[in-house]
Amino acid sequence: MKQDFGRVAVLMGGTSGEREVSLNSGGGVLAALKSQGVDAHAFDPASEPLDALKAFQRVFIALHGGYGENGAIQGALEIMGIPYTGPGVMASAIGMDKFRTKLIWQAVGLPVPEYAMLDDDSEFDAVEKRFGLPLFVKPACEGSSLGVFMVTKPGELKSAYASARHYGNLIMAEKGVMGGEYTVGILGDEALPIVKIEPATAFYDFEAKYLRDDTHYICPADLSPAKTAEIQAGAKKAFDAIGATGWGRVDFLMDEAGQHYFLEVNTAPGMTSHSLVPMAARQAGLSFEALCVKILAEARCG
């Protein structure tokens, strides 16, 4: 099968705020594929014309944020007729938009944290009173926790909103759900073992994700078998609801009473040394190299 892949481009880098993370992910994927005999090559769309991808038979998307995850690169590859990894155009576009993802999840009966969309005319004090503290402010169309701010004191919401606006125009406030942070990797039709995330920081921010070595991960998470099965089924439903296929990751939160709330979906998860899907795959008996080959084998066009 490895020889059947032909010449493979590993898309990495790009121009989003997650460029450095993408380069790390892409470098790991590239090395893994080469170690398995795949004819894989690095391709940075920030410095190479997309038209050059016509020289490849498959594409492994290791771009994070921006056009790497919002459906744009997926659409370009479909126009060129090149199979690529991960969800398609529609699912990628929806998944990059936390607001519209939540609307779909609510429509199919999945639990999500309480939220409100903010603008310059919002009644910030009323939102604070409605949700209580802490609460979170975030751009709806960014990843890797870029532009996410935790509000812990009364009167801070307005300034947090102003800071988040530097990362995008669509900003949401979200009720703090503080009983634990978790994630579920999706690989094909399978939900992988759940990972519990215990950051040393106040929450799982960019620094905790990529720069610190004191973030603690528990895989499989310390949940009952029944709760694990319930959440894995819900995560797969959440993934399917936005039309996603291939592979991805669904994050969720737990409150102090043990109720879970689905937070967001990642349609191009990280593949770095700190990344969560490779961690869950290892628990399921799949090495990093085997995971990369399996994802590549599922590449499709449209």
Q: Report the pLDDT value the prediction gives residue 209, as an integer from 0 to 100.
A: 58
Same-domain pairing of 129 and 9: no
Task: Judge whether 302 lies within some domain.
Answer: no
Strand partners for 151: 135
- Could you tell me if 104 and 228 lie in one domain? yes
Task: Give yes or no: residues 149 and 237 share one domain.
Answer: no
Do 101 and 230 lie in one domain? The reply is yes
Q: Which of 25, 70, 144, 275 is catalytic?
A: 144
Residue 68, domain extent:
2-85
Active-site residue, 156 included: no
* pLDDT of the residue at 203: 63
Asked about 266 being catalytic, the answer comes back as: yes
Q: What is the structure's pLDDT at 167?
A: 87
Catalytic: which of 210, 246, 248, 275?
210
Catalytic residue chosen out of the listed positions 18, 86, 123, 147: 18
Instruction: Choose the catalytic residue: 19, 92, 270, 275.
Output: 270
- Which CATH number fits the domain that encloses residue 255? 3.30.470.20
Position 178: which residue type? Answer: M
By the 8 A CB rule, do 160 and 128 touch? no
Q: What is the pLDDT of residue 102?
A: 97
Q: In terms of domains, do 10 and 71 share one?
A: yes
Q: Which of 22, 249, 261, 275 is catalytic?
A: 249
Give 10-residue mean pLDDT values along the chain (302 residues).
83 90 95 96 96 97 91 97 97 95 98 97 97 94 77 96 91 96 96 92 60 82 97 98 97 96 95 89 96 96 80
Same-domain status, 247 and 101: yes
Residue 51 is among the residues annotated as catalytic for this protein: no
What's the domain count of the chain? 3
Domain check: are 263 and 291 in the same one? yes
Is 264 a catalytic site residue? yes
Is there a single domain that holds both residue 60 and residue 158?
A: no
Q: What is the pLDDT of residues 249-297, one digit of tens each?
A: 999 999 999 999 999 999 999 998 678 999 999 999 999 999 999 999 9
